[in-house]
Amino acid sequence: MYPDDLLADGGSDPIGLSGRRSRIFEQLRINLNHHPATETVAVRPTRDQKDRKLVAHFDTQILVDGLVDAAEAKLEINWWTHPAGIDDQFKFHYIEPSGYDCGWHRQPHPEESNIPFDHFQQRASPESDYQYQGVDFLEDTPVGLLWEVTQTRLPRIIRARYDPETEF
């Protein structure tokens, strides 16, 4: 499973997929720039300063037709590539000025092993505990997942929170 030719940033890679993580960041950035609600996209250091993430600022007037009071909200994205045969890890995390934040993650919880790797998590404010729910992602590729989250999943969450009349 772990041959000697494991290469940097691509895992088991006999024919040159090295640098995949940086290409994923670049393509996610390009796709975010094509999203109608995107105002800016930037690469920023993570909280521990040891890694980087993509941060997109959205115009919520466009994202959910003005349903949210806040003029702006942000989506933070990170992606960790693994060798072929092992699912990559990722997170798409939405943060509102109201204090609410939520995210779609493919990651283990550091302490709770009963939370599925593929999950949604949300909390009302940074002082609250997260609530978790397992999800089944529909798309297989990084850019497909980006559009699945930004077109369907995120607007549904925002509508559900701000418009109690919404039917699903």
Please give the residues from 113 up to 152 whose contact with other proteins meets the rule CB under 8 A.
113, 117, 120, 122-125, 128, 131, 133, 135, 138-144, 147-148, 150-152
Identified binder of other proteins from the candidate list 72, 74, 109, 118, rule CB under 8 A? 109
Which pairs from 50-56 meet CB under 8 Å and 24+ separation? 51/78, 52/25, 52/78, 53/77, 53/78, 54/25, 54/28, 54/29, 54/78, 56/32
Q: How far is the CB of 100 from other proteins (least distance, A)?
A: 6
Query: Residue 108's CB: how many other CB atoms inside 10 A?
Result: 13
Sign of CA dihedral 150, 136, 102, 162: positive
Q: How far is the CB of 56 from other proteins (least distance, A)?
A: 14
Residues from 22 through 41 that contact other proteins (CB under 8 A):
22-24, 26-27, 30-31, 34-36
Angstrom distance (rounded) from CA 112 to CA 117? 11
String marking each residue 48-87 x if it binds other proteins according to CB under 8 A:
--xx----------------------------xxxxx-x-
Q: Where are the alpha helices (DSSP H) in the chain?
A: 20-34, 60-63, 142-147, 154-162
Decide: 78 and 54 in contact? Cβ < 8 Å.
Answer: yes
Q: How far is the CB of 71 from other proteins (least distance, A)?
A: 18
Angstrom distance (rounded) from CA 151 to CA 21? 23
Output 71 or 80, the one with its CB closest to other proteins: 80
Output 60 or 150, the one with its CB closest to other proteins: 150
Output 56 or 102, the one with its CB closest to other proteins: 102
Q: How far is the CB of 72 from other proteins (least distance, A)?
A: 18
